[in-house]
Structure 1
Amino acid sequence: MTTLRERKTYRKAVLQSLYGAVERNRPEVSGATLRDELNLPDEDLSAACAYLAGEGLITVDWTSHKTPAMVSLTHEGIRFMEEEEESDAPPQGA
């Protein structure tokens, strides 16, 4: 069983990967690509995607095996990531 810290790390990694894909004009990412890029087991990727979809941050097309087939950020997910990016930026004039 994964720890809470690991689950949060996986969710953040999924969001960051999808946000990077949007910046490269790739609004959808296959679940296999995401799994390979993040080096996550199917169970952990599925759990992260299910959580983020429940929060309205991503949309997921699921396979018949309950693993992500295609994943994309929602408008709310993009806004969330933009807010994260702004909060991580150094103050102006620093």
Structure 2
Amino acid sequence: MATLHERKAYRAQVLRALYEATEGNRLLGITGAEIGSALQVPGQDLAAACTYLAGEGLITVDWEPGNTPAMVTLTHQGLRLMEAEEEEHG
């Protein structure tokens, strides 16, 4: 099981990967498999990160059987957060 520090890092990485892959377009999404392979996040930790982010209202997730994220998209709130971070960090 991941530590708190690792879980927070996974959440940030998932959100950043989603934002970059969709170029900030809420109409686009990427598969959980794409996120997992790009970030090398273990499946259980990817599912936990997606569950957390969805609970915070930052992403939406379509789930496959076995608690695997099939398709992940940004919400309006998630997009606003990522744009604010981009503006802040240049």
TM-score, with length taken from structure 1: 0.88
Correspondence 1:43-82 to 2 at 5 A: 43-82=44-83
2:85 corresponding residue in structure 1: 84
Of structures 1 and 2, the larger Rg is shown by 1
Local SS of the residue matching 1:87: helix
Q: Could you tell me how far apart the structure 1 residues matched to 2:34 and 2:24 are? A: 15
Counterparts of 2:66 and 2:32, CA distance in 1: 12
Moved over 3 A (4+): none
Identity, in percent, stands at 57
2:10 equivalent to 1:16: no
Residue in structure 1 matched with residue 5 of structure 2 by the alignment: 5
Gaps of 5+ in 2: none
Distance 1:43 1:12 in 2: 16
Structure with the larger RCO, 1 or 2 (CA within 8 Å, 6+ apart)? 2
Gaps of 5+ in 1: 90-94
